[in-house]
């Protein structure tokens, strides 16, 4: 018994060490960025003391602020539109027969597996063919396009868990299809909808390749940072990245809390 306990204890120790190493590998770059956002020196090779200078300069830089407004505007609108379209698409796919469902899931997944550069170039050619000026609107359309499949895959599992008779019972009790959808189906799949919306929002914030090919008149943060990297990254970008990371982390915590409350009900 003692030997088995020792083996079990050693196994748990190595599991925890492995988990700690994985987390360290994932989050060490982010922690380094956060630390150097408070560095008084522009150099990323030495520490010259604590300062909030870069955070102050961040809110005085018009280029960064304009790029931030564009990024947040596109991310919020793209997430909202993709969530609505993706949720309706997931409901439609869920109601299909097996063969049709498999076909549409394949179409949905192809867009996710296609390289970003292919999607970006193809969308750019499509916009140019229809003579749409590359700017905020075309970037928004592109972000909605690549976000929809992720929302579909986030909502479908919740639809499979839902009791189908609840929707039919609402119809039998006199509810219209729209009322049954809003008052029965949507509350049941709300955790999946919120997860898809958050995923779409963060993917939109993170995207560079598709944004690069589908806009020229405006810049979001990813394209701005790319252009700045050619002449050296400004330390204000460290401060901006820290604030964005903190905002997304807070949003994730609030969403998880909301999902937990929804599932408890």
* 141 shares its domain with 199: yes
* 178 shares its domain with 140: yes
Mean pLDDT of the chain: 85
Q: Is the pLDDT score of 51 beyond 90?
A: no
| Alpha-carbon distances, residue 37 vs 180, 202, 206, 225 (angstroms) | 50, 21, 19, 15
* DSSP secondary structure string for all residues of 102-163: HHHHHHHHHHHHS-HHHHHHHHHHHHHHTTPPSSHHHHHHHHHHHHHHHHHHHHHHHHHHS-
What pLDDT does residue 16 have? 86
* 77 shares its domain with 1: no
Question: In terms of pLDDT, which residue wins out, 184 or 9?
Answer: 184
What pLDDT does residue 156 have? 92
What pLDDT does residue 71 have? 92
What pLDDT does residue 46 have? 76
142 occurs within a structural domain: yes
57 occurs within a structural domain: no
* 209 shares its domain with 92: yes
The parent domain of residue 260 ranges over: 62-264
What confidence tens digit (pLDDT) does each residue in 55-108 have?
A: 888 888 888 889 889 999 999 999 999 999 999 999 989 888 888 888 888 888
20 occurs within a structural domain: yes
51 occurs within a structural domain: no
109 occurs within a structural domain: yes
Q: Is the pLDDT score of 10 beyond 70?
A: no
- When pLDDT is cut at 50, 70 and 90, the band that residue 247 belongs to is confident
State the CATH number of the domain containing residue 87. 1.10.3720.10
Instruction: Count the alpha carbons within 13 Å of 255 in the hemisphere toward its beta carbon.
Output: 17
What pLDDT does residue 261 have? 65
* 160 shares its domain with 32: no
What pLDDT does residue 204 have? 92
* 16 shares its domain with 66: no
* 22 shares its domain with 144: no
239 occurs within a structural domain: yes
What confidence tens digit (pLDDT) does each residue in 138-196 have?
A: 999 999 999 999 999 999 998 888 877 777 787 777 778 778 888 888 888 888 898 89
56 occurs within a structural domain: no
SS3 for 28-89 is HHHHHHHHHCCECCCCCCCCCCECCHHHHHHCCCHHHHHHHHHHHHHHHHHHHHHHHHHHHH
* 166 shares its domain with 253: yes
* 131 shares its domain with 182: yes
Global pTM value: 0.81
Structural domain tally of the chain?
Answer: 2
* 18 shares its domain with 142: no
199 occurs within a structural domain: yes
* 31 shares its domain with 66: no
* 69 shares its domain with 171: yes
């Amino acid at each position: 018994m003692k030997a088995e306990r020792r083996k079990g204890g050693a196994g748990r120790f190595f599991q925890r060490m492995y988990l700690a190493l994985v987390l360290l590998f994932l989050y060490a770059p982010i922690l380094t960025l956060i630390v150097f956002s408070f560095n008084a020196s522009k150099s990323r090779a030495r520490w010259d003391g604590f300062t909030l200078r870069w955070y102050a300069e961040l809110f005085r830089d018009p280029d960064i602020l304009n790029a931030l407004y564009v990024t947040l505007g596109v991310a919020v609108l793209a997430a909202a539109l993709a969530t609505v379209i993706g949720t309706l698409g997931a409901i439609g796919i869920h109601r299909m027969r097996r063969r049709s469902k498999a076909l549409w899931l394949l179409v949905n997944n192809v867009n996710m597996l296609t390289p970003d550069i292919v999607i970006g170039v193809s969308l750019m050619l499509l916009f140019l063919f229809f003579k749409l000026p590359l700017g905020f609107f075309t970037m928004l359309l592109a972000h909605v396009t690549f976000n929809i499949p992720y929302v579909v895959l986030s909502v479908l599992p919740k639809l499979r868990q839902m009791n189908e008779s609840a929707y039919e019972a609402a119809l039998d009790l006199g509810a219209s299809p729209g009322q049954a959808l809003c008052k029965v189906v949507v509350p049941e799949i709300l955790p999946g909808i919120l997860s898809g919306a958050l995923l779409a929002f963060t993917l939109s914030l993170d995207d560079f390749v598709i944004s690069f090919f589908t806009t020229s008149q405006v810049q979001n943060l990813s394209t701005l940072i790319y252009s700045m990297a050619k002449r050296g990254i400004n330390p204000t970008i460290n401060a901006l990245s820290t604030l964005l990371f903190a905002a997304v982390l807070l949003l994730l915590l609030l969403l998880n809390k909301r999902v937990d409350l929804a599932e408890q009900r």
